[in-house]
């Protein structure tokens, strides 16, 4: 009895549910197709990569099922309605979300495809999505058991099925579906007829791999293409020829290697069956070489298979196995070791004929990697790796690139042309620097009020460049510097601060004596694209690399100011007379040689005393100032000089004179205290400056001494440098009896003696003690008459 009253209630509930479902269906059927296809709420990101559109009753359990699982096997996330729909979600919304997120659409046309309104609606939306070129979506149609003319509506098969949907969806919807069918039917497609399913599925999966394998990589929005560069590279690659070619694009950091490689990749990628562009390999190696091998392999077989790599050796074998019969294009960006190329691209027999392997590097050593196969016998294939060096931009192109970043136009506005050119020249047309400074000025200039003069900002920026490269540029260039050994860094900093555009011969002698292994160091610097050796045997260094070296000297080097080459810094250093053993190089050139290292006003009392001396007393005073400081001498006049407080007497009976007095009477000089404070010097270059006083062997570490323009009198005593290998006396006023010769007789290691343009010399000096001398320069010694016989004992370089 208790169950009978409940029967009507259950009936009512079920009836109500059926009515509600019918009302919902009718409400949905009245919605316009546009409303049904709305995807405004679809979140960003590609949850699916491939969308399969098919008639379930025709192909779900055969061809489509096999294709679906093969695509999944190689690692793609594939949408098909019976497996991807989530329980409880609206079917139409979920399908169109999947369509919107997918990149590849594969409609599988079968005999009953057009009988499904869902298939037709999916196809129309595919056409709509692919019409937007920015979305970069593709349709890859398959004619399963139909003819292309069926889909083009030239036969009765589809033309008869479509009108049956008119009552529910209306004429407008049918017209869209018909247009979509015809448009897709004209695309390049596969026909199953005459092919086995396995063979066709392999072709489809391969094409999906190629389409989704980023055949176009992003290049900077504001870039100026150099057509001449492109022609030169394409000439080397010869894309249409057989054989395997390796091309190394090399140059300093920030020169534009990566962007150039991207442009080349985009231009030629369509010529290859499989392509791969690996960005920043050097940085990616932080996660291990195996991870990079997996990335490369995933481009050809998908991530699922690539993840099966067990170790580096297995990765090499897998790459060779997959690429051996394929014509592939692989770009490896930023390699810095040979091992990376060996483990990622091995040798030419890893790849099918016509393949091209491109890599970018700062390290020329990578170009020397052995890539030929010993079994290879391809006459058209060049031996070894082809090389293309990227130089700084042409001036006009650099200005255009700068303007694109600074003004968002190709040329500077009125009033900014001169400043733009100065900035571009100042950074040496290095693309990274041009971009960084242009973007900096654009961003900061846009924040200024309209009425503000932006030229002040530009002028300050130009001055700021004197402090070194911008941070982004420094970061890029520092990668090469930080990869150097300590001794190589010392040579690099010497070149940046002292020897840019100078002949390498003399510095090599100094570095050899310092045990810096100069030939090896120079080779490494050249390999890292930090320097070049010109045809004139001079060091060349890009302006921004040189500025980086000077920045390191000032800001990053552990011993700041170890190389002092700026006038103001040199003056302050000498005036302080503070002990600083970290100073290794000091340069005093002609623009500061007239400066007295003294404090103004301290000599007034001394000058009054000097004026009161007799002529004889003045003569002895000048002799003391010039020759006898700190030497043991006696003379009747000395007591008078002591009374005038112009000299003093030490306990060991040595004469002493205040440095300020000495400086005034011999205005161009460096005294013992200055040298004692800089006892770690290995390089000293002065011009028109004399040394005075008892140096007490304070320059024992000195390897290079340049006394250009020195006077005939040598005022220093105990000026002995047993480690000296380079003595430059060029353009000096020295004569045959120059007093300095006696001071240098202990210099047994001297390799170079430069007497160029010493116009007062009539004979060469006695070089008996210079038994290591290799180079003696006498060019411009116009008064030279006699060659000292001691020269016959030397083995000089010719």
Active-site annotation, residues: 122
What token pair was written down for 710? 């020195």
Beta-carbon contacts of 786 under 8 Å, excluding residues fewer than 6 positions away, are: 762, 763, 764
The dihedral sign for the CA sequence 750, 754, 759, 762: positive
- What is the per-residue burial (b if ≥16 Cβ within 10 Å, else e) of 677-687? bbbbbbbbbbb
d(CA 545, CA 505): 22
Question: How many Cβ atoms are within 10 Å of 756's Cβ, its own excluded?
Answer: 15
Distances (CA, A) of 712 to 629, 736, 792: 18, 9, 26
Contact 641, 620 (CB under 8 A): yes
**Sole residue written with tokens 């290591």:** 772
Beta-carbon contacts of 669 under 8 Å, excluding residues fewer than 6 positions away, are: 597, 662, 663, 689, 690, 691, 692, 715
Task: Please compute Rg for the chain using Cα positions.
Answer: 41
User: DSSP H helical segments within 387-517, as ranges?
Assistant: 395-406, 417-426, 431-446, 455-464, 471-482, 486-494, 505-513
Coil/strand/helix, residue 62: coil
d(CA 64, CA 200): 12
What token pair was written down for 150? 């069926």
DSSP 364: G
What token pair was written down for 488? 């190589």
**Sole residue written with tokens 């057989």:** 242
Question: How many Cβ atoms are within 10 Å of 455's Cβ, its own excluded?
Answer: 12
**Sole residue written with tokens 């960006």:** 333
Beta-carbon contacts of 680 under 8 Å, excluding residues fewer than 6 positions away, are: 580, 581, 582, 583, 584, 701
Answer left, alpha or beta for residue 500, where phi above 0 means left and psi between -120 and 50 means alpha: beta
User: To 10 degrees, what angle do helices 63-73 and 289-306 make?
Assistant: 170
Angle (nearest 5°) at CA 579 between 574 and 582: 95
d(CA 552, CA 547): 9
Beta-carbon contacts of 333 under 8 Å, excluding residues fewer than 6 positions away, are: 257, 258, 261, 277, 278, 279, 280, 281, 359, 360
Contact 101, 129 (CB under 8 A): no
User: To 10 degrees, what angle do helices 91-101 and 117-130 make?
Assistant: 30
CB-count burial class (<10 Å; 0-12, 13-18, 19+) for 380: exposed
Diameter over CA atoms, the chain: 151
Distances (CA, A) of 24 to 88, 116, 619: 15, 21, 121
The dihedral sign for the CA sequence 337, 338, 344, 348: positive
d(CA 81, CA 68): 11
CB-count burial class (<10 Å; 0-12, 13-18, 19+) for 390: buried
Listed residue (383, 259, 264) closest to 330, CA to CA: 264
């Amino acid at each position: 009895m208790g169950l009978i009253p409940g029967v009507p209630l259950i009936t009512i509930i079920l009836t109500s549910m059926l009515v509600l479902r019918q009302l919902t269906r009718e409400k949905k059927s009245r919605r316009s197709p546009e409303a049904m296809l709305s995807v405004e709420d679809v979140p960003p990101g590609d949850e699916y990569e491939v969308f399969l559109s098919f008639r379930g009753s025709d192909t779900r359990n055969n061809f489509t099922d096999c294709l679906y699982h093969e695509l999944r096997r190689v690692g793609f996330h594939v949408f098909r309605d019976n497996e991807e729909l989530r329980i409880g979600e609206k079917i139409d919304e979920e399908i169109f979300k999947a369509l919107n997120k997918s990149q590849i659409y594969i409609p599988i046309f079968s005999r009953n495809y057009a009988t499904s309104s869902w298939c037709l609606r999916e196809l129309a939306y595919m056409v709509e999505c692919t019409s937007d070129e920015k979305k970069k979506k593709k349709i890859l149609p398959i004619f399963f058991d139909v003819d292309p003319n069926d889909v083009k509506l030239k036969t009765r098969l589809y033309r008869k099925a479509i009108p049956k949907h008119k009552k529910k969806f209306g004429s407008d919807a049918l017209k869209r579906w018909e247009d979509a069918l015809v448009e897709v039917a004209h695309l390049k497609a596969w026909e199953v007829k005459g092919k086995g399913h396995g063979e066709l599925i392999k072709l489809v999966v391969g094409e999906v791999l190629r389409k989704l394998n980023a055949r176009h990589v992003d290049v900077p929005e504001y870039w100026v293409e150099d057509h001449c560069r492109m022609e030169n590279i394409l000439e080397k690659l010869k894309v249409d020829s057989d054989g395997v070619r390796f091309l190394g694009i090399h140059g300093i950091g920030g020169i534009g290697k990566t962007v150039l490689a991207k442009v080349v990749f985009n231009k030629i990628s369509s010529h290859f069956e499989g392509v791969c562009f690996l960005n920043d390999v050097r940085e990616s190696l932080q996660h291990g070489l195996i991870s990079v091998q997996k990335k490369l392999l995933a481009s050809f077989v998908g991530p699922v298979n690539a993840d099966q790599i067990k170790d580096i050796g297995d990765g090499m074998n897998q790459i060779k196995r997959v690429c051996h019969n394929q014509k592939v294009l692989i770009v490896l960006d930023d390699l810095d070791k040979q091992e990376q190329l060996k483990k990622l691209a091995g040798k030419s027999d890893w790849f099918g004929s016509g393949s091209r392997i491109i890599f970018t590097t700062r390290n020329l050593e990578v170009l020397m990697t052995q890539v030929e196969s010993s079994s290879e016998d391809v006459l058209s294939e060049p031996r070894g790796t082809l090389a293309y060096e990227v130089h700084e931009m042409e001036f006009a192109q650099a200005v255009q690139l700068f303007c694109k970043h600074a003004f968002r136009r190709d040329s500077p506005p009125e009033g900014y042309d001169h400043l733009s050119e100065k900035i571009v020249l100042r950074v040496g047309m290095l693309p990274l620097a041009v971009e960084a400074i242009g973007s900096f000025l654009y961003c900061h200039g846009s924040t200024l009020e309209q009425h503000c003069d932006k030229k002040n900002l530009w002028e300050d920026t130009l001055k700021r460049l004197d402090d070194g490269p911008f941070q982004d540029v420094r970061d890029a260039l520092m990668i090469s510097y930080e990869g150097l050994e300590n001794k190589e860094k010392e040579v690099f900093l010497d070149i940046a601060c002292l020897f840019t555009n100078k002949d390498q011969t003399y510095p090599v002698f100094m570095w050899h004596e310092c045990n810096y292994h100069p030939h090896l160091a120079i080779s490494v610097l050249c390999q890292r694209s930090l320097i070049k050796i010109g045809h004139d045997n001079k060091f060349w260094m890009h302006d921004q690399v040189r500025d980086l070296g000077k920045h390191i000297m000032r800001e990053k080097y552990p011993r700041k100011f170890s190389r002092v080459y700026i006038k103001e810094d040199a003056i302050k250093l000498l005036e302080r007379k503070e002990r600083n053993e970290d100073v290794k190089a000091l340069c005093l050139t002609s623009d500061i040689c007239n400066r007295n290292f003294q404090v103004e006003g301290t000599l007034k009392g001394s000058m009054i005393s000097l004026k009161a001396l007799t002529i004889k007393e003045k003569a002895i005073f000048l002799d003391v100032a010039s020759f006898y400081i700190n030497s043991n001498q006696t003379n009747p006049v000395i007591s008078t000089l002591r009374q005038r407080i112009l000299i003093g007497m030490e306990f060991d009976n040595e004469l002493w004179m205040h440095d300020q007095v000495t400086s005034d009477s011999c205005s161009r000089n460096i005294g013992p205290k200055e040298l004692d404070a800089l006892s770690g010097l290995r390089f000293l270059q002065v011009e028109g400056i004399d040394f005075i006083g008892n140096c007490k062997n304070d320059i024992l570490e000195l390897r290079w001494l340049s006394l250009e323009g020195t006077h005939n009198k040598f005022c220093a005593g105990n000026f002995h440098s047993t480690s000296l290998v380079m003595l430059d006396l060029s353009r000096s006023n020295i004569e045959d009896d120059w007093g300095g010769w006696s001071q240098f007789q202990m210099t047994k290691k001297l390799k170079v003696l430069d007497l160029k343009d010493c116009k007062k010399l009539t004979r060469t000096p006695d070089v008996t003690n210079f038994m290591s001398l290799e180079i003696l320069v006498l060019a411009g010694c116009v008064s030279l008459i006699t060659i000292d016989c001691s020269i016959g004992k030397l083995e000089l370089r010719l």
